[in-house]
Structure 1
Amino acid sequence: MAEDLVITRDTSKKEQYQSIIPQIEALLYGETDFIANLANVAAALKEQFGWFWVGFYLVKQDELVLGPFQGPVACTRIKKGKGVCGASWAEAQTIIVPDVDEFPGHIACASASKSEIVLPLIVAGEVIGVLDVDSEVLNKFDETDEFYLEQVITILLNR
């Protein structure tokens, strides 16, 4: 298990992902506890990219419930279809929001959040949770983030 991450911030976003993803694989290697792995993925992504908030919500009955995260306190429960996380769950697809104030029904857990990307965690055709990443900068996330964060989710779900 890796204990220290090698953080590279003076390179392109693509290169940063290409550096952190193998480290995440090493971090998760041999660990089968899902919650522990969620926690380490959130910490590794937050440390590498310095995003405002990064974490997971897990489906429990009829709502998303806050899971492991890094950042300020967050909304604890989100209904299906509500906000960006609930919409990602309901649609079973990634949602990139350049300006959260323009997203209909956005749930403002933190007023400093300006842009967001949410990716569903899908197992056997069912959404079991979402990865939620917020930035205090408008238009922070794009297809590069989607591509590489999907790889992170694949690694996570295959442990």
Structure 2
Amino acid sequence: MPFSFSSIKVSWSPPENPNGIITKYNVSWTWEGNKDHDITNDTTTSYTITDLTPCTNYSVTVTAATSKGYGPESKAATGTTDSKDPDPVTGVNVNNYTDNSTLLDVNWSEVQDVGNCDVTYKITWSPASNGDGSNTTTTTSLSYIITQLEAWTTY
């Protein structure tokens, strides 16, 4: 099943012993205890499930129908939707400590619309007068205290 961050393309083969002419297929999917489904009213053997959440594990089954009704569900196929690139970080604030001029407290707003993806923030700093010697760190929180800075230096 090919995945993107918001869709899954499902394809299947007709049952080996259909017990009649296949009139339609039912595609069902579940995620984290929730269930949704979409009934296709034709005999197409593929379907694209859309409007999914990034970084979410989905389980998909297909059921064939004849004029007598639906047969048993297929074995479930599972997979996880891809991650989505986050929007730019907003609401960045930098606060210095009056009692210690070698520290800066940086905080920002949480990025939105990333689904169930884990977000890691990258913080880079360097003296404003000199672009060389930049430092970088990462964090999953919404703030970071930069330490061991040179006093009375703009960053």
Q: Same fold (TM over 0.5)?
A: no
Larger radius of gyration: 2
Normalising by structure 2, what TM-score?
0.24
Structure with bigger strand share is 2
Structure with bigger helix share is 1
